[in-house]
Amino acid sequence: MGPLLKLYPIIVNNIAISTTNDSKGQIENNNGYIYPPQFISKMNFLRNLLAAILGSLIALGIVFFMLMIFVSLLSVEESITVKNNSILELKTPYPIKDYSGVDNSAPFAGLFSQEQGLDDILHAIEVAKEDDKIEGISINSNYLMAGIAQTQAIRAALEDFKESGKFIYAYGDFYTQKDYYLGSVADSVYLNPVGIMDFKGLSAEVLYFKDLQEKTGVKMEVVRHGKYKSAVEPFLSNEMSEENRTQIKELISSIWNTVVEEISESRDLSAASINQIADTLGARNPEFAKKSGLIDEILYFDQYEKQLKAVTGTEEEDELNYISLTDYAEAKKGKKLRKGKDKVAVIFAQGDIFYGEGDQNVIGQGIMVRAIRKARDDENVKAIVLRIDSRGGNALAADIIWRELMLAKAEKPLVVSIGNVAASGGYYLAVAGDKIFTEPSSITGSIGVFGTIPNIKGLADKIGINAEQVGTNKNSVDYSLFEPMRDEFRGYLKESIESTYQVFLSRVAEGRKMTLEEVDQLAQGRVWSGAEAVEKGLVDELGGLEDALKEAVAMAELEEYGIKKYPRYKSDFEKFMEDMGGVSTEVKENVIENDLGFEVYDIIDELRTALKQKGIQARMPFTIKIH
């Protein structure tokens, strides 16, 4: 190497090197390694390129964030105006939950998913009843994504709205049974000339997986108590048991009778006539539907709007002043129908019960215990209403929440309102109440317990896996996924199941003032409709959330009161920001559901939920979907 002329210390990617200028233009580092000038040039280029990429990503993130804020601010600043002579358009394009628990006016609310709260819908209808700017309601709700009890609650609110003397019209391009059940409350019901009506009675379908388990080698080990506890039946058999068939038949018949009774009253048709229409598919096309008396006229939508213009006194050349239910609920959410320093807390428990924190889709003891304690410790809260929509789940989590409810009940009146379902673990929570209200079409009971543990011994044998266990004590290796369940372990699990079942019976007996024997006769995992549950003494009265509120107010002896709702859930945006490392679980769930469709997604979700169950379960014995 030539003579050193000058040294220039520099840093390249944290490597200290010294440069020398010689006749060859070579560069040497501290360790004597010689770097050609081209290497340094490339290193500098890569460093600059990486810095540019990183800077661009940061800039894009900032621009995206600012854009979202700008869009959000625009939406907030854009006020919703309710014009004179307006028609409240009752459309329900999103899934309906009892309670959304998120401030929809917050930035980025509904950015990833949208849903409607039943409480917001009922509030909007109640406000519209006294709003001079609202002339009437137009129901245009195809494929209503709500439970039958939620539909019944909306229908009852519309019945109350009609007492104002304002009109309600219903129009459908097609009617599912649930859509028609809701629409039948209208003064007049209209159907598209090429539309269809699905009116044939209720049915239930249960999927069985015994053969699938044998073919795949993946099975569920099952221990249960209750001859009706058929939540695990699909893993044990390929056919429906007579006990399960009996209870499902009686359940859906009870719900159908309630639906028929209300349609009969609204349409001035006898129950026998409505059942004959269902038996003969006597409303399968528009002409038959009109002849049967289920609808009033067959019209295209533009003709329907002429009817609306006539009833509202709108000139034919003018546009109708529609305001969507979503916009109206947003505009009127600040209008308090009940005011006062004294409060009634309404706590919503919705979803399956899992041990853990919980959110708007899952009841966990974490979020529920905090909500109950806040209501109990708030001096302004004088009474508590617990609204339940749950088919049950983890028995331990249910008991933890039950205990917290009992502590609150010792200090303040506690009234329970059952929504679509309060079965098994959901009913476990309900019996803490001083009084229980249920819709006639609600599903409740299912007092029973079971345990399921996955086992892949068959699959392991097929693919050549052999698992060997080593333990320090006799029961240190109690169960392995790769080995059949030992009789001793099954005995311990059965003992725990029986113990939990007896605790469940005692909770119900204490809450409903029955003997253990009386409860056991109604238990065994048997499911009842709300109407049947009243007859059996499992609940006190038929009624909705409003009836439960009135009872709580009476028990607390309040004259004026406001309402506080619990719990407060994280918004979609908050969950997204907490999971910046990837797409949040809920976002992925929404994408999958949209791609597969509701029916296919529901089947997959049912199987996945069964496989995710941990611990002893107090869960409804089957899933029923009413269309």
CA 205, distance to chain mean position in Å, is 21
CA dihedral 254, 544, 96, 429 (to 10 degrees): -90
Query: How far is residue 212's CA from residue 539's CA, in Å, rounded to a whole number?
Result: 39
Residue 167, H or E segment? strand 167-175
Reading the block at residue 71, the tokens are 């869009």
Query: How far is residue 296's CA from residue 284's CA, in Å, rounded to a whole number?
Result: 15
Find, among 189, 103, 114, 117, the residue nearest to 146 by Cα: 117
Cβ-count burial 438-470 (b if 16+ within 10 Å, e if not) = bbbbbbbbbbbbbbbbebbbebbeeeeeeeeee
For 317-378, give the DSSP string.
Answer: TSPPEEEEHHHHHHHHTT--SS--SSEEEEEEEESEE-SS---SSEE-HHHHHHHHHHHHH-
Query: How far is residue 406's CA from residue 460's CA, in Å, rounded to a whole number?
Result: 47
Identify the bridge partners of residue 387 per DSSP, sorted by sequence position.
Answer: 348, 417
HSE of 256 in the Cβ direction (CA atoms, 13 Å)? 21
Query: How far is residue 429's CA from residue 388's CA, in Å, rounded to a whole number?
Result: 8
Query: How far is residue 539's CA from residue 440's CA, in Å, rounded to a whole number?
Result: 11
Q: Is the peptide bond before 567 cis (omega within 30 degrees of 0)?
A: yes
- Annotated active-site residue 424? The verdict is yes
Query: How far is residue 434's CA from residue 511's CA, in Å, rounded to a whole number?
Result: 8
Cα angle 408-410-411, degrees, rounded to a multiple of 5: 70
Query: How far is residue 358's CA from residue 569's CA, in Å, rounded to a whole number?
Result: 9
Cβ-count burial 508-540 (b if 16+ within 10 Å, e if not) = bbebbebeeebbbebbbbbbbbbbbbbeeebbb
Active-site entry in 424, 442, 529, 571: 424
Find, among 98, 94, 105, 543, the residue nearest to 346 by Cα: 98
* 227, 450 Cβ separation under 8 angstroms: no
Query: How far is residue 449's CA from residue 583's CA, in Å, rounded to a whole number?
Result: 36
With H, G, I as helix, E, B as strand and everything else as coil, classify residue 253.
Answer: helix
Reading the block at residue 267, the tokens are 């349409």
- Annotated active-site residue 575? The verdict is no
Find, among 368, 420, 359, 371, the residue nearest to 589 by Cα: 359
CA-CA distances (angstroms) from residue 538 to 104, 210, 338, 434, 544?
37, 34, 31, 12, 16
Classify residue 1 as exposed, middle or buried by CB count within 10 Å of its CB (0-12, 13-18, 19+): exposed
Active-site entry in 178, 229, 332, 382: 229
Supply the residues annotated as catalytic: 229, 424
